[in-house]
């Protein structure tokens, strides 16, 4: 005897919206903000729980436990093998859990201070990443240029952008053949969003886009919402976190926080996100608890900005005006560093996922 057909909670919710009833029995107009964001996928960036030392299989299990839609593995060391068979096995394992894998790695700028030859030359690194992305079913391969120290190298960040563009262009054919795009991150204060836009446009936006990082935007003197306005149309992937910002002696001081515990207006952010890049995953990368001063009042600070104050700096300062100082995280003395870091990182990420779901993000309940 056949059982009666069932309807999932997700499909039932969609049917209510279709006939004009909201999630709480209200008309859909009363839940418009929630419904606008509900289709956005929600996931985690494995760097958020780096202290766990987990490999890909353990990360997939964790993502499944959190009931998220995507897992962004941003370090190739998380893979026990780069063999195609192993990667396809991971792809199936994740798919069975309802999780989409995205993959990334680090610097592909051969003149960056952060570049390492662990994965060969820049071109070899990209080739490996493209192959891995295809096997894993990741539509993009995340890379970075470098960090804010590259702004003080010979030729400043402009030269490093030029060097990165040259490397990326050499991989265009390989990307197009594989159907994989390169997502370059605004990483650790290396590029303002408009500088990253230049890199993408010059390399070729048919195969290069952005990995949009809201926390790193602050290190480049940007309000995260202004960063979204510039990078949203190019965003292929994301690594997002909240930030607290306040005026300090030499400029402004920033502290990254769990989602919903800083100063970013996430309701506004994700409403705009849903319009600019609705098919881009929302991946959470919490890196919390320490303060960084951006000493813009010092003349030496501007050596890293040869073209002067970046566009939107006035909005960045206005945002900082609203903040209050925060105390950095202090590791408990009665715990080992390893255990304390593991518990702290998981707490920051898991609170962030709960917050994101509370404002309507994610497709899994």
Dihedral angle sign, alpha carbons of residues 323, 325, 328, 329: negative
Q: How far apart are CA 78 and CA 55, in angstroms?
A: 5
pLDDT (0 to 100) of residue 229: 98
Query: What is the token pair recorded at 88?
Result: 């396809």
Specify the length of the chain in residues.
365
pLDDT per residue as tens digits for the range 25-78: 333 333 444 455 558 999 999 999 999 999 999 999 999 999 999 999 999 999
CB 126 within 8 A of CB 133: no
Query: What is the token pair recorded at 174?
Result: 């390989």
pLDDT (0 to 100) of residue 12: 32
| Confidence label for 209 from pLDDT (cuts 50, 70 and 90) | very high
Count of H-run helices and E-run strands, the chain = 13, 11
The chain-wide mean pLDDT, for the chain, equals: 91
Q: How far apart are CA 188 and CA 149, in angstroms?
A: 9
pLDDT (0 to 100) of residue 365: 79
pLDDT per residue as tens digits for the range 154-165: 999 999 999 999
Q: How far apart are CA 316 and CA 310, in angstroms?
A: 10
Residue 102 has pLDDT above 50, yes or no: yes
- From the list 263, 188, 273, 262, the residue with the least C-alpha distance to 234 is 273
Look at residue 317 and give its three-state secondary structure. helix
Look at residue 75 and give its three-state secondary structure. coil
| Confidence label for 347 from pLDDT (cuts 50, 70 and 90) | very high
CATH hierarchy code of domain 37-242+262-287+353-358:
3.20.20.150
| Confidence label for 216 from pLDDT (cuts 50, 70 and 90) | very high
Q: How far apart are CA 84 and CA 135, in angstroms?
A: 6
| Confidence label for 8 from pLDDT (cuts 50, 70 and 90) | very low
- From the list 200, 213, 76, the residue with the least C-alpha distance to 138 is 76
Percent of the chain with pLDDT over 70: 90
Lookup result for tokens 């262009």: 169
pTM of the model: 0.90
Measured torsion, CA atoms of residues 141, 201, 179, 84, in degrees rounded to the nearest 10 = -20
Q: How far apart are CA 224 and CA 339, in angstroms?
A: 32
> Residue 72: how many CA atoms within 13 Å on its side-chain side?
30
pLDDT per residue as tens digits for the range 263-292: 999 999 999 999 999 999 999 999 999 999
Residue 16 has pLDDT above 50, yes or no: no
Look at residue 43 and give its three-state secondary structure. strand
Q: How far apart are CA 262 and CA 266, in angstroms?
A: 10
Q: How far apart are CA 351 and CA 230, in angstroms?
A: 28
First to last CA, the chain: 31
Lookup result for tokens 């997939």: 60
């Amino acid at each position: 005897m056949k059982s009666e057909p069932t309807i999932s909670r997700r499909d039932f919710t969609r049917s209510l919206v279709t006939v004009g009833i909201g999630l709480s029995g209200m008309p859909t107009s009363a839940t418009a903000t929630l419904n606008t964001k509900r289709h956005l996928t929600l996931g985690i960036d494995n760097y958020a729980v780096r202290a766990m030392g987990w490999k890909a299989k353990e990360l997939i299990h964790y993502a499944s436990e959190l009931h998220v839609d995507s897992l962004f593995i941003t370090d190739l060391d998380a893979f026990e093998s780069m063999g195609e068979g192993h990667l396809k096995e991971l792809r199936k394992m994740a798919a069975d859990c309802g999780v989409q894998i995205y993959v990334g790695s680090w610097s592909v700028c051969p003149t960056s201070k952060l570049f390492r030859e662990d994965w060969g030359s820049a071109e070899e690194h990209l080739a490996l990443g493209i192959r891995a992305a295809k096997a894993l079913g990741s539509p993009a391969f995340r890379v970075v240029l470098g960090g804010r120290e590259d702004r003080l190298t010979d030729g400043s960040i402009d030269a490093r952008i030029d060097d990165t563009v040259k490397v990326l262009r050499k991989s265009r054919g390989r990307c197009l053949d594989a159907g994989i795009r390169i997502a370059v991150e605004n990483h650790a204060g290396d590029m303002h969003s408009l500088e990253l836009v230049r890199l993408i446009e010059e390399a070729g936006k048919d195969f290069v886009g952005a990995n949009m990082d809201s926390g790193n935007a602050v290190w480049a003197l940007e309000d995260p919402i202004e960063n979204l306005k510039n990078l949203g149309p190019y965003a292929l992937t994301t690594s997002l976190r909240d930030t607290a910002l306040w005026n300090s002696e030499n400029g402004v001081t920033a502290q990254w926080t769990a989602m919903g515990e800083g100063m970013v207006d996430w309701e506004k952010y994700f409403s705009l996100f849903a319009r600019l890049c609705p098919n881009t995953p929302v991946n959470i990368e919490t890196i919390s608890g320490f303060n960084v001063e951006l000493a813009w009042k010092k003349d030496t600070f501007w050596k890293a900005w040869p073209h002067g104050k970046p566009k939107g700096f006035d909005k960045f300062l206005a945002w900082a005006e609203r903040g209050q100082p925060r105390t950095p995280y202090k590791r408990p003395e009665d715990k080992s560093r390893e255990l304390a870091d593991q518990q702290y990182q998981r707490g920051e990420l898991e609170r962030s996922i709960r917050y994101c779901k509370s404002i309507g993000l994610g497709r899994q309940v």
